Amino acid sequence: MTAAAESRLGVPEGDPAGPVLPQEELLVAAEAARWAPSIHNSQPWLLRRLRDGLGIVEDTARAVPVIDPHGRDRIISCGTAVLNAAVALRGLGYTVDTATLPDPAEPALVATVRVTARVPASAADTDLARMVPLRHTHRRVYRSHAVAEEDLLDLRQAVAVEGARLSVADAAARRRLAHLLRRAVRAQAADPELRSEVERWVRRGGSNAGEVVDGIPSSALGTSPFPVDSLVHGGHRGAPEAGEVEEELARSTVLVISTRGDTRHDWVVAGLALERLLLVATAKGLVATFAEQALQDTSLRPEVADVLGIWGLPQVLLRVGRPLVDAPLTPRRPLAELFEV
Ligand SMILES: Cc1cc2nc3c(=O)[nH]c(=O)nc-3n(C[C@H](O)[C@H](O)[C@H](O)COP(=O)(O)O)c2cc1C
């Protein structure tokens, strides 16, 4: 797209003297965005070709309104796609300017990711870019829940770089979080509307299993109920038994990403921080399991903040560790479907 056309569309222009991103490199960034994690693998984004990069646009047609009525998880998901695009372009040897919510006239434009100069890619940048297709969500048992102190420091740093904060729950906080989580999961399991929304996104296989392009394939679901399987769906008995969540969280490394506020901008920041954390974790051989239920219930979020003693708003709750067995990759929509027409 030309700078003039971008300007007509209301997209703030990049530097007209800056580099033009060749089509094949734009596709590398788009491919990285495509592999970002998203709520129910809904992939709620469209991609916009820019002269010097990519725009990531929220696609509300792919909303999951029962579990995510305010679009918080959707915008966090878009944020992960933005981070992947930026990481891919840095890995190709560019400096990158990411502008979040750059156009007040177009709130659906979550971010633009533009290249600003050619530089030699650092080993750290190329290593991180290589993690994009390897990262995936873990819904299996763990070989070890222990995470080394220096690895935790790196994860904390990854989150801080994006302007968010990482809390590591201590034993007392994990006990209280387990209680909140079990309450949230019990409520989700008892909500027929929520369960039927989840079932619409779970792909239970069948003759056309090879054609799955979104949602969560049954192969990626957990083999045991929550909290091993981090999704509350019809494949397991409903809510976990008393003590199950407590026992699992007692031995887990539990991380919470929080932001200063709770605006759309904060949600994008949470998504950037989440994906950087997940890529750094992947590079260390760590996997992550979401435990978003306690945050999807809006009334529990202040309690989670209180448990952790954090100043901001909790946005993402994860367990991390080393996997006993690996989980399969979850498919994505074809790249061609992702571009705005
Ligand atoms: C904001 C957000 C919330 C999520 N919440 C959950 C969750 O509560 N339970 C779960 O099992 N997975 C959750 N996921 C993981 C997605 O289901 C997963 O990213 C998607 O299925 C794609 O699979 P992949 O991460 O293995 O590539 C969440 C992901 C995001 C980005």
* pLDDT score for 86: 98
Same domain, 130 and 204: no
Q: Same domain, yes or no, for 268 and 131? A: no
Mutational pocket test of ligand 1: of 31, 34, 35, 40, the residue with most ligand atoms within 8 Å of the beta carbon? 40
Compute the distance from residue 40 Cα to the ligand 1 centre, in Å: 6
Same domain, 14 and 152: no
Let me know whether 130 and 148 are in one domain: no
What is the Å distance from ligand 1's center to 21 Cα?
A: 31
CATH number where 43 lies: 3.40.109.10
Interatomic CA distance for residues 251 and 101, integer angstroms: 39
DSSP secondary structure code for residue 221 in this structure: S
Pocket test for ligand 1, best of 64, 274, 290 (most atoms within 8 A of CB): 290
- Name the one residue in this structure whose structure tokens are 């890995």: 91
Q: Are residues 170 and 313 in the same domain?
A: yes
Question: What residue ranges line ligand 1, CB within 6 angstroms?
Answer: 37-41, 73, 76-77, 80, 136-137, 139, 216, 230-231, 290, 292-293, 330
**Same domain membership, residue 318 and residue 202:** yes
Is there a single domain that holds both residue 83 and residue 176? no
Print pLDDT tens along the chain (341 aa). Answer: 555 556 555 566 788 888 999 999 999 999 999 999 999 999 999 999 999 999 999 999 999 999 999 999 999 999 999 999 999 999 999 999 999 999 999 999 999 999 999 999 999 999 999 999 999 999 999 999 999 999 999 999 999 999 999 999 999 999 999 999 999 999 999 999 999 999 999 998 754 556 899 999 999 999 888 999 999 888 877 778 879 999 999 999 999 999 999 999 999 999 999 999 999 999 999 999 999 999 999 999 999 999 999 989 999 999 999 999 988 899 999 999 999 98
Q: Do 202 and 168 fall within a single domain?
A: yes
Nearest CA to ligand 1 atom 2: 39
Residues 314 and 305: beta-carbon distance below 8 Å: yes
Number of independent structural domains in the chain = 2
> What is the Å distance from ligand 1's center to 291 Cα?
9
For residues 41 and 121, membership in a common domain is answered with: yes
Residues 223 and 303 in one domain: yes
Between CA 52 and CA 36 the distance in angstroms is 21
Closest CA relative to residue 284, chosen from 135, 82, 170: 135
In terms of domains, do 120 and 182 share one?
A: no
Interstrand relation of 216-217 and 165-168 (parallel, antiparallel or unpaired): unpaired
User: Do 78 and 146 reside in the same domain of the chain?
Assistant: no
Q: 252: domain range?
A: 142-323
